Amino acid sequence: MAKEYVKPSLVRIERTNRTERLYTQEGKRNDLLIDAAREWLKVQEKPEDALWNEAIPQALYDLLESFDPQASELAAQAYLESIGYTVSKE
């Protein structure tokens, strides 16, 4: 049976006692992504000042690439559309 994907959207979730674990996990995810980006810099022998303009975009790309292609494509498309891009697949 084919998976049915749901297009993600920006959802604001109020920070409360009930949602604190979500915020904690998202913070850990972000910290791990930055750590991975810093490791990428070391492996590529790039300076630390390349973190935000080179390593973070690479880490985000690698993160999307590591998941199901359809889910990654949907997430990337939704994000680009949320910041004003029109996305079409040729």
Average of per-residue pLDDT across 11-26:
95
Instruction: Provide the pLDDT for residue 23.
Output: 96
Instruction: Provide the pLDDT for residue 1.
Output: 64
Q: What is the domain extent for residue 76? A: 20-82
- What mean pLDDT, rounded, does the chain reach? 94
Instruction: Provide the pLDDT for residue 63.
Output: 96
pLDDT at residue 55 tops 90: yes
Domain assignment of residue 52, yes or no? yes
Domain assignment of residue 87, yes or no? no
* Predicted TM-score of the model (pTM): 0.84
Domain assignment of residue 3, yes or no? no
Number of domains in the chain: 1
Average of per-residue pLDDT across 14-34:
97
Domain assignment of residue 44, yes or no? yes
Domain assignment of residue 65, yes or no? yes
Instruction: Provide the pLDDT for residue 10.
Output: 85
How far is Cα 22 from Cα 25, in angstroms, rounded to an integer? 5
